[in-house]
Structure 1
């Protein structure tokens, strides 16, 4: 995707860049790469960010109504990134690619803005809008991967999106009056999605919403007696309140994949810096199907605030003890992917001996020579991290090589695995690059095969 670099200096370039900050908002100096989102209206709350909201205007553009919405949400603790829809549509139309992908810009900007505020935990963005903005919100949900958008709220959406090119999505699409009508991708919703219909909803928009609900029964479709503005504010206020309540297991960003253990083993997977999705989620599902219950640690959320090997090991120990007891297993399989792999050796070395003795295998996927214990937004944008966490290959010198498996993509230029083979560490090359050509089922089979050799020896 083309990246249009835009600089946003919050306290000094407000008018020049089209940035709106209310009087009570915290002011910071920051530069943001906004991609195809032109001159966003960024409103920042005082104190800890409770939620991150991308608010799309209707077809009339960003005006006083959107200002009122954004200010009300900011007062409740949300950082609001407002998008002027007509200008955004023009920008999207200039994308040189064959289709248009919107989610990467939203995710990137959400991370950059939240990092500039220094909030302690990352809030996945909520996308929301009224009318045409709501239509685009639902179109975005047709192309969003899981665990990327936090939630979608659409009030009185229309039925079609008018762009020069189609959205990049495998979802069903058809030409109707006014543009392209998008369904949703197969499988589970990538994030909770709510559609509200007020008395202002159009007939074709209502029909489209009802069709989406039929296609995806998990969509929350509600009628509202309030105005569209009031409905949106109430819905988003409810979600800000809910986001501030931490109901995560052990107070950690965990995904639990329960199953009856057949190998007397549980797995803990520390994700890459993109969070619990793609390879991490698919690998977890595959292990679950093989009779290995899984605890997934979302690295994006856990390491959003800086940790170290000692504090990470303390939390990992709590996970090991709680879930070994819950599942009644003896063995633990520790897996890290990319960012998660790099920090796993140092973390393992800080575990109490009682926990280390239960670890049957460490599987390091796409290992490099540099570890971090904090998510780097510059790294997410393609830059290199600081390497403050040390070199994981050095930390591996303290670990029994018979316990370690290192898996690399044969086309991965940053691989650190191959150099470990002379130490007696199991190294496995898989065709492809950093993501192993997305053949995660085959990857799971190699991990399980190696695990069985270790627990049966």
Structure 2
């Protein structure tokens, strides 16, 4: 008996040593730092994790430039799973001072470098950048978040921020056309601390790669906009390739005000890696079932803008029959003849679809024409909408653009009438089966008004006037310089001429 006990104790001790050794062997490490071009940042120091990527951090140095303490923080963040871009704050300020600009949009530089380096790293998903720093670097990080539109910067970590931002940064005043209810990301500040404090605060916001629940939609980049007071109508909006911002966000908020609950799918993040049409449809089905049950909706509108419009027919045609029956209307805006299923730099530049793009004509032909609304502008050329005329689809031609302030009364009447009719027809159908709750009938919640307006521009590839900074992108190792041109989308960031 004593021998068995000794053997058991030895086995336990040995197993413990083996597990400890395995844990040490599996501990993430940081790859050797490398220096690459960072656009207006100048040369930046990139430190990558050797294991799974959990996030992307733009780390700004202290006042005197990139030093040993900054690299120590970058190494620690990389070991925690963050690709870390080290920016020499002094060099960045000098580069900006040399430019003939009245003010500088600092947030676009951080977002652009995240697009560039995550694409080169062939990341399976897109991580919105966290900006961080100590001292002057902390002040820069706070300034960036204060300027950033929603869904562009994940958050800020600022340790012992400098009391005053270096005057050479000359941040631009807030854009009066952007209304924000709060900061567009988390804010972590510490009045005292050092490298360890910064690393601790950043690490708490990195993605947890160990958690994956296939029964919910937490793995999808969704934006929830439930209607006030509830609604039995649900709109699922797939954004353009710039992500959930500007037009897509404005469309969704207008629908929400009209009493329609909205779930937005951020294309920039969802299609960062290639998704086959079948997977897109499966994920759309998950979103439909989840939110129809959660918000007690029984009628669904599928809305796609630009990139999102192009992929929508593929997703709809592969839905289960019971979910297709729940779709009241499919509205396509900026609908092109070919669909890409991965975000590409060429798309941001307004260039033609890639060689991998799939023709949409065979797919839209399978969609019942009575479901389809196709909006396009008079100046739009790369559009499928005219081809749908005389098919039974609702094809609406507007002026050059549709803005949030004005829409043609004809377009508004047609959209509202068609939507109301489709809502009523779907409402009479049998309850949906297979979801997480009864979704087939209204539970007394207010139905609200039918869709009445779409506040957005229609010209494909054109955004409202935002900021544009001269920044370089790299795809397949080739830099692309973007000259300032007012009003046109370039790389997925907002711009101002």
Q: Does the TM-score normalized on the shorter chain lie above 0.5?
A: yes
Classify 1:187/1:169 alpha carbon distance in 2 versus 1 (closer, same or farther; 3 Å): farther
Per the TM alignment, residue 383 of structure 1 is displaced from its structure 2 partner at its CA by 4.6
Classify 1:130/1:242 alpha carbon distance in 2 versus 1 (closer, same or farther; 3 Å): farther
Give the counterpart of 1:40 among 32, 41, 44: 44
CA distance in structure 1 between the partners assigned to 2:201 and 2:292 by the alignment = 39
SS at match of 1:107: helix
1:367 lines up with 2:367 in the alignment: no
Give the counterpart of 2:206 among 240, 246, 251: 240
CA distance in structure 1 between the partners assigned to 2:320 and 2:420 by the alignment = 24
Give the counterpart of 1:269 among 200, 219, 237: 237
Kindly name which structure, 1 or 2, has the bigger radius of gyration based on alpha carbons: 2
Per the TM alignment, residue 420 of structure 1 is displaced from its structure 2 partner at its CA by 2.6
Classify 1:33/1:352 alpha carbon distance in 2 versus 1 (closer, same or farther; 3 Å): farther
Kept in 1: contact 2:331–2:373 (CA 8 A): yes
Give the counterpart of 1:140 among 139, 144, 168: 144
Give the counterpart of 1:308 among 242, 252, 276: 276
Aligned to 1:354: 322
CA distance in structure 1 between the partners assigned to 2:343 and 2:417 by the alignment = 32
Aligned to 1:25: 31
Per the TM alignment, residue 350 of structure 1 is displaced from its structure 2 partner at its CA by 1.0
Classify 1:27/1:140 alpha carbon distance in 2 versus 1 (closer, same or farther; 3 Å): closer
Kept in 2: contact 1:331–1:360 (CA 8 A): yes
Classify 1:440/1:52 alpha carbon distance in 2 versus 1 (closer, same or farther; 3 Å): farther
1:455 lines up with 2:423 in the alignment: yes
Aligned to 2:189: 195
CA distance in structure 2 between the partners assigned to 1:191 and 1:441 by the alignment = 32
CA-to-aligned-CA distance 1:165-217 (integer Å, 9 cap, x gap): 73223279xxxxxxxxxxx985221111222101xxxxxxxxxxxxxxxxxxx
Kept in 1: contact 2:298–2:326 (CA 8 A): yes
SS at match of 2:77: helix
Aligned to 1:92: 96
Kept in 2: contact 1:33–1:109 (CA 8 A): no
Classify 1:186/1:306 alpha carbon distance in 2 versus 1 (closer, same or farther; 3 Å): closer
TM-score for the superposition, normalised by structure 1: 0.77
Kept in 2: contact 1:369–1:393 (CA 8 A): yes
Question: What stretches of structure 2 of length at least 5 have no aligned partner?
Answer: 1-27, 426-497
SS at match of 1:276: coil
Aligned to 2:172: 168
Classify 1:263/1:125 alpha carbon distance in 2 versus 1 (closer, same or farther; 3 Å): closer
Classify 1:186/1:345 alpha carbon distance in 2 versus 1 (closer, same or farther; 3 Å): closer
Kept in 2: contact 1:342–1:371 (CA 8 A): yes
Classify 1:440/1:231 alpha carbon distance in 2 versus 1 (closer, same or farther; 3 Å): farther
1:283 lines up with 2:289 in the alignment: no
Classify 1:196/1:263 alpha carbon distance in 2 versus 1 (closer, same or farther; 3 Å): closer
1:109 lines up with 2:103 in the alignment: no
CA distance in structure 1 between the partners assigned to 2:405 and 2:356 by the alignment = 32
CA distance in structure 1 between the partners assigned to 2:352 and 2:264 by the alignment = 25
Per the TM alignment, residue 27 of structure 1 is displaced from its structure 2 partner at its CA by 9.2
Kept in 1: contact 2:231–2:261 (CA 8 A): no
Classify 1:36/1:185 alpha carbon distance in 2 versus 1 (closer, same or farther; 3 Å): farther
Classify 1:258/1:429 alpha carbon distance in 2 versus 1 (closer, same or farther; 3 Å): same
Kept in 2: contact 1:307–1:374 (CA 8 A): yes
Question: After superposition, where does 1:295-334 map in structure 2 within 5 Å?
Answer: 295-334=263-302
SS at match of 1:240: coil
